[in-house]
Amino acid sequence: AKSFWVVQYYSSSEELCKTFAKEWEKLPELVFGAARVGAVDCDAQRELCEAHGVDLSALPVIRVVTGGPKAYHEYPGELAAESLQNFVAQVVRQAAPGRVRPVLSEEDVARVMDEVDEIAEWDALVLLVNNKTLTPPMYVSLAQQFKGKLVMGELKLSSVWFHELAWQYRAEGDLPTVVVMCGRAPEAPIMFDGDDKGRDSLE
Per-residue pLDDT band for 43 (boundaries 50, 70, 90) equals very high
Inform me whether the pLDDT recorded for 30 exceeds 60: yes
Domains by residue range for the chain, with CATH: 5-94 (3.40.30.10), 100-202 (3.40.30.10)
Give me the pLDDT at residue 28, please: 94
In whole angstroms, give the CA distance from residue 120 to residue 28: 30
Mark 86-123 as b/e (b = at least 16 C-beta within 10 Å): ebbbebbbebbeebbbbbbeeebbeebbeebeeebebe
Is residue 88 within 8 A of residue 32, CB to CB? The reply is no
In whole angstroms, give the CA distance from residue 125 to residue 128: 10
Residues 62-117 have pLDDT tens digits of 999 987 767 899 999 999 999 999 999 999 988 877 789 888 877 888 888 888 88
Mean pLDDT of 154-161: 75
Mean pLDDT of 27-32: 93
Give me the pLDDT at residue 112, please: 87
In whole angstroms, give the CA distance from residue 144 to residue 126: 13
Q: Average pLDDT of the chain?
A: 85
Mean pLDDT of 105-134: 85
Give me the pLDDT at residue 118, please: 87
Inform me whether the pLDDT recorded for 197 exceeds 50: no
Is residue 79 within 8 A of residue 26, CB to CB? The reply is no
Q: Rounded to two decimals, what is the model's pTM?
A: 0.75
In whole angstroms, give the CA distance from residue 151 to residue 116: 6
